[in-house]
Structure 1
Amino acid sequence: MPRVVPFYAVKCNPEPGILKLLNALGAGFDCASKGELDMMLRMGVSPNRIIFAHPCKRASDIRYAREHNVQYTTFDTVSELHKIAQMNPDFKCVLRIRADDPDARVPLGLKYGAEVSEADVLLRTAKELGLQVVGVSFHVGSACQNLSTFSGAIENARKVFDEAGALGFNMELLDIGGGFTGHFDEMGNVMFGEIANTINAALATNFPPEMGVRVIAEPGRYFAETSSTLLTPVYGQRDRVAADGSVKKDYWLTDGLYGSFNCILYDGQNPGYKVVRSPLMADSTDSRTFLSTLWGPTCDSADCVYKDVTLPVLRNGDWLMWNNAGAYTVAGACDFNGIEFTTPGKLYVWSDSAVDAAEEGADEQVMNA
């Protein structure tokens, strides 16, 4: 999508390694709180490469954005417009409209996004308050499934652009949100072609280049999902013998629902795993499999990652490896029971091509400074 500039959704995974690489490559950033704004500004990101993409902001967040010259923010209610008028009337406001994919893994329209039919009232209120409305945003939902959702949303955005233009607003920004997959195909290419083609066609029809509209997106999962692999050692086990004499296995892992596997509860994920045998022990000779339950490490009996899955016999010290663990995992963890879920041990592996690209981008920034 050559016309679309990515603004990485920091909430997806605020891992400094990811943020620094994307910053070096020239990406923008979608922030949703004072904490995320502060993180990116301290990293040296210019305020003009940040969009404060939260339609209902706390007063302290608005004040922080004003004090640090963060210009762009989203809104979707009359209430938010009055807050902005009172606390930071210099904001460049972006109207978020609802654009639901009913099959998205995490639909967002129940909470955020104004109906297109509500746009007129919101735009007129902004006009009366003397605010600047400069664009439209939407989000089809995390892990979008239906391509037509993007087409319909872009078409609706153009309708709102025209309404705003008729009221005298200078509309210059379209934010197409996120919802993009981050998986790779067998050849190592991101599975993105159909989505990209759909979006490019809708942009060409509704926002041709001669309009001069800047187009951004808020990808999170697209960049972060495949960036991380989670490894959980088995550190406890038990046999449960049923009345019929069959045996089920219980295994305890070092991570659970209060940690990175919160993604099962909040993000609708069903993470896959592979067994990795401990290199410190002899090869296992037991080829039997059992129905098994994988427990997280807390005292909460609800902390169950999977129940009744078929596994080979595991030993304390064997591992389960979970690929594609970079999106909405550790970012949503908490340290319940005093277990340090939010600060797991990390091992960084850098590809030469990524490092070269980052270094070249950094050199260009120095030369252009």
Structure 2
Amino acid sequence: MAPSAISIIDHNETTVLNDSKVDYVHTTKHGVESDVTGFASKALINKVLKEQIARIDVDTCEPGEEDAFYVADLGEVYRQHLRWKLNLARVKPFYAVKCNPDREVLRLLAKLGTGFDCASRAEIDMILELGVPASRIIYAQPCKTKSYLRHAKKVGVTRMTFDNTDELRKIRDCYPDAELVLRILTDDSASLCRFSAKYGASLDEANELLDLAKDLDLNVIGVSFHVGSGASDPNSFGKAVQDARFVFDRAAELGFDLKLLDVGGGFTDETFEMFAGNLNDALERHFPPHVRVIGEPGRYYASNAFTLATHVIARREVRGDAGEKGYMLYLNDGVYGNFSNIIFDHQQPIPQVLQRSSADKKLVEYSIWGPTCDGIDVITDRVFLPGVLDVGDWLFFENMGAYTKCSATKFNGYTDDHEVLYISSEPGASALLGYGADE
């Protein structure tokens, strides 16, 4: 569905600009100020959601015009960056592109000066096409395709990770001048998504890898780790930093001059300050200022910035064991689409009513399902929502920016390319992106 211009009509002054792919809604200083609260940002998002669905008549629209769509507040990405700089000033963020490779998010982060964690040739090319120099990319994939290694060499991406002997020999053959970062094993048992079963060398293995790198005359420059995506134990950083210090010291004994520590990701919005404090303490204890420190936040930047609107396409009445009435709702998006975060990221998206045909606000029990013919396509088994929802009503889901659109599929013939309406509740973000100047 081709996007159409959105205009927010109220007492606030609004600038609207379009390009061939996206819409930009820029609120000037007469609207939402740069110190906008979360409440004001949500109010703006809600207003754009309602204005968009007001343009859709499900009884007369063309096929696909009532598809699910996003509203993305790039001002939220901007504020998260300022929050990072305030709490983790020593750690330069290298955004994990895999989390959400949305071009406008990437463009904003590039303007803000972040680095980028890329795990494939396509991600590397995506970042380079934005004009980001190769020096701001880390090829953070311990097991790389040979042709991708040759491509990294061709485009000048020198920094990359490894965690096994075969990878070292592969790099020696394909890219012997690469700057190597040894990924070590961590305890990620308290994380939503655990990586240690797949990646990372134990401390004993790290010793062997450093010996081999020395024999192969390869350039090891640092150590990396990842405490797991969506980590919940702040102490995990302290132990990982201590282990990294051990590897630094062992490398020095072999003549390596390690100057980079990559602390990976695992940062979430809810626990960020706690984790940042733990990490800062560990860095101060174990690493002097001359060691460069980078991190790989993904969901921290993207999750809260995206809100998804979905349309009720069908409804089925059901009865509980005690005879109480409830409903099965079928949406035009599901776990094979933007709700892939339920399966791949262990998320539990919370439905909220955006528009309903009934004025009744009595709580009603629902189960909510996606549109495909697969029985696992369930968004939530049980939820209570106000009023009796019907076909044509709309729900919305907040915090849908991480591991959603990027892992959507075309299963059962449904689209994986849903429209994104971009707004900025932060004048600083608007100015950086060049689609509006503060007045």
Q: TM-score, normalised by structure 2?
A: 0.76
In structure 2, what is the Cα distance between the partners aligned to 1:3 and 1:302? 44
In structure 2, what is the Cα distance between the partners aligned to 1:152 and 1:103? 13
Matched, 1:223 2:301: yes
Alignment equivalent of 2:404, drawn from 319, 329, 351: 329
Q: Does the Cα contact within 8 Å between 1:173 and 1:215 map onto a contact in 2?
A: yes
Change (3 A) 1:234 1:166: same
Please, what is the CA RMSD of the aligned residues?
A: 1.8
**Amino acid across the alignment from 1:255:** D
Alignment equivalent of 2:342, drawn from 241, 259, 264: 264
Alignment equivalent of 2:380, drawn from 306, 312, 324: 306
Matched, 1:140 2:230: no
Matched, 1:238 2:345: no
Matched, 1:118 2:193: no
Deviation string, structure 1 residues 45-88 (Cα, Å, up to 9, x no partner): 10000000000011121111011110000000111111111111
Change (3 A) 1:244 1:5: closer
Change (3 A) 1:353 1:258: same
Residue aligning to 1:320: 395
Choose 159-168 or 307-316, whichever is displaced more.
307-316
* Deviation of the 1:17 alpha carbon: 0.9
Change (3 A) 1:242 1:352: closer
* Deviation of the 1:241 alpha carbon: 4.0
Residue aligning to 2:276: 196
Change (3 A) 1:309 1:349: same
In structure 2, what is the Cα distance between the partners aligned to 1:357 and 1:100? 41
Alignment equivalent of 2:369, drawn from 291, 295, 301: 295
> Secondary structure at the residue paired with 2:237?
helix
Matched, 1:249 2:356: no
> Secondary structure at the residue paired with 1:98?
coil
Q: Does the Cα contact within 8 Å between 1:100 and 1:108 map onto a contact in 2?
A: no
Choose 193-202 or 236-245, whichever is displaced more.
236-245
Deviation string, structure 1 residues 242-265 (Cα, Å, up to 9, x no partner): 676443311111110101111111
Q: Does the Cα contact within 8 Å between 1:8 and 1:219 map onto a contact in 2?
A: yes
In structure 1, what is the Cα distance between the partners aligned to 2:307 and 2:319? 34
In structure 2, what is the Cα distance between the partners aligned to 1:263 and 1:359? 28
> Secondary structure at the residue paired with 2:104?
helix
* Deviation of the 1:153 alpha carbon: 0.5
Change (3 A) 1:356 1:337: closer
Q: Does the Cα contact within 8 Å between 1:25 and 1:357 map onto a contact in 2?
A: no
Q: Which has the higher contact order (CA 8 A, sep 6+)?
A: 2
Deviation string, structure 1 residues 121-160 (Cα, Å, up to 9, x no partner): 0001111111110000000001111111101101110110
- Unmatched runs of 5 consecutive residues or more in structure 1: 184-190, 361-369
In structure 2, what is the Cα distance between the partners aligned to 1:2 and 1:324? 25
In structure 2, what is the Cα distance between the partners aligned to 1:3 and 1:117? 29
The number of equivalent residue pairs is 347
> Secondary structure at the residue paired with 1:139?
coil
> Secondary structure at the residue paired with 2:181?
strand
**Amino acid across the alignment from 1:358:** L
> Secondary structure at the residue paired with 1:229?
strand
* Deviation of the 1:170 alpha carbon: 1.7
Q: Percent identity?
A: 46
Q: Does the Cα contact within 8 Å between 1:182 and 1:224 map onto a contact in 2?
A: no
Q: Does the Cα contact within 8 Å between 1:274 and 1:321 map onto a contact in 2?
A: yes
**Amino acid across the alignment from 1:235:** I
In structure 2, what is the Cα distance between the partners aligned to 1:318 and 1:176? 44
Deviation string, structure 1 residues 15-48 (Cα, Å, up to 9, x no partner): 0110000000100000000110111111111000
Matched, 1:351 2:351: no
Change (3 A) 1:192 1:241: closer
- Unmatched runs of 5 consecutive residues or more in structure 2: 1-87, 435-439
**Amino acid across the alignment from 2:425:** S
Residue aligning to 1:129: 216
Q: Does the Cα contact within 8 Å between 1:101 and 1:145 map onto a contact in 2?
A: no
> Secondary structure at the residue paired with 2:229?
coil
In structure 2, what is the Cα distance between the partners aligned to 1:115 and 1:243? 53
Residue aligning to 2:285: 205
In structure 1, what is the Cα distance between the partners aligned to 2:285 and 2:323? 66
Q: Does the Cα contact within 8 Å between 2:107 and 2:433 map onto a contact in 1?
A: no
Deviation string, structure 1 residues 219-262 (Cα, Å, up to 9, x no partner): 00111111100111111111134676443311111110101111
